[in-house]
Amino acid sequence: MRYRLLAEKLDRILPYLLIAPTVVYMGFFVGYPLVQGVKLAFFDEQGRFTTENVDYLLNSPLSKFRDALFYTLLITGIVIPVEFVLALLLAFFFNSFRFRGKNAAIYVTILPLTISDVAAGLIWYSMLTGNGFANKLLLNLGVISEPIQFFGWQNRDMELLAIIITEVWRSTAIVFVILLAGLQMISHEYLEAAEVFGANALQRLRYIVLPMLMPSIQAALIIRTLFALQVFGSVWVLAGRDIPVLAGEAFYEHTQMHHTGVAALYALIIAAISLSLGALYIRFFKARYLEAGR
């Protein structure tokens, strides 16, 4: 009898015991770095408050903070809408048509999911470089008479374009996967019912598909924005510091300049922007979602 009671008690705390290791581990690997990051960024070695790192960030001629902030937001602001539209079109396409080899086509379309930012940068470097495939193809087709130069600091705008192409190529897949999964969860019965009541395709999209897809859209946008603000590998490979970004400057300050405090400050800035944009997305989409009548 006592044994049964004990077993029941164990059953009640068992789930907490199973989850505790994860929470403790995550708590340590998020909590400790956050506290230490604030310490590194705002306090000197004696533990006194200092604005030295902030001053360096904002005022030093060596610091590229303003450019980095500008380019990070610019890349995020261009890449995310482009790949969102692209992924939405792809998801609608694969969800509405049946054809032979469709599964293989979906599989290929999501391949970039497994390709890292560094690898994607190298792949597009081989496409766009002076003797690369794109230039040779256009030259031989007679579209251009001399190679388009994508790289080198004199060609910053082209470098930016190369980064945007690479990022869109690499990360449309994740948005596509989330949206396709969301579309497939919408029951056909809703659409059929709407059709019976005379809703046309546009109305069905506006009043059924989009509202029901909203949670997926929100998830995809949050995930992609978080990653876009940390953009690093592809930029570093394609443009180095010609196009400074926040994560790249954190890397540079830490590994080249040994400014640990400045690197920590960059990390905190990225975290702050990430969290506020995440909160904004959740608010904005929740409002729309409720308004649509669910």
Partner 1 sequence: MEEASPVRYALHGILVAAAAALAVAWVLVPIAISVLYAFSTPQDYYDPNKVIPIRFTLEHVRDLLALGASKAAFNSVVVAVLTIVLSFLLGLPAGYAFARFVFPGRDALKLLIVGMRMFPIIVIAVPLATLYIRLGIYDTPLGVALAHTAMALPFVVLVTSSIFAGVPRELEEAGLVFGLNRLGVFLRITLPLALPGLAAAAIFTFIMSWNEVFIASILTTLNRTLPAFILVSAMAAPDFIKFAAGFLIVLPAMVFVFIARRYLIAMWGITLR
Which part of the chain contacts partner 1 (CB under 8 A), choosing from 44-52, 59-67, 71-79, 260-268?
260-268
**Alpha-carbon distance 230 to 274, whole Å?**
9
Asked if 90 interacts with partner 1 (CB under 8 A), we say: yes
Burial bucket for residue 180 (CB in 10 Å: 0-12, 13-18, 19+): buried
Maximal CA-CA distance, the chain: 90
Task: State the number of binding residues for partner 1 (CB under 8 A).
Answer: 89
CB of 5 to partner 1, least distance (A): 16
- Binding string, residues 213-232; x marks residues near partner 1 by CB under 8 A: -------------x--xx-x
**Alpha-carbon distance 176 to 158, whole Å?**
27
- Binding string, residues 114-143; x marks residues near partner 1 by CB under 8 A: xxxxxx--xxxxxx-x-xxx--xx-xx---
- Binding string, residues 70-89; x marks residues near partner 1 by CB under 8 A: --------------------
Asked if 188 interacts with partner 1 (CB under 8 A), we say: no
Reduce the DSSP state of residue 197 to 3 states and report it: coil
Which part of the chain contacts partner 1 (CB under 8 A), choosing from 58-66, 103-111, 205-213, 284-292?
103-111
- Please tell me what DSSP assigns to residue 162: H
Which of 3, 8, 16, 291 is close enough to bind partner 1 by CB under 8 A? 16
* 210 vs 226 by CB, closer to partner 1: 226
Where helices occur in 50-200 by DSSP H, the ranges are 52-59, 65-96, 102-109, 117-128, 133-141, 156-184, 188-196
Subset of residues 236 to 255 that bind partner 1, contact rule: CB under 8 A? 236-237, 240, 247, 250-251, 254-255
**Alpha-carbon distance 283 to 275, whole Å?**
12
Return the structure tokens found at 103.
């599964």
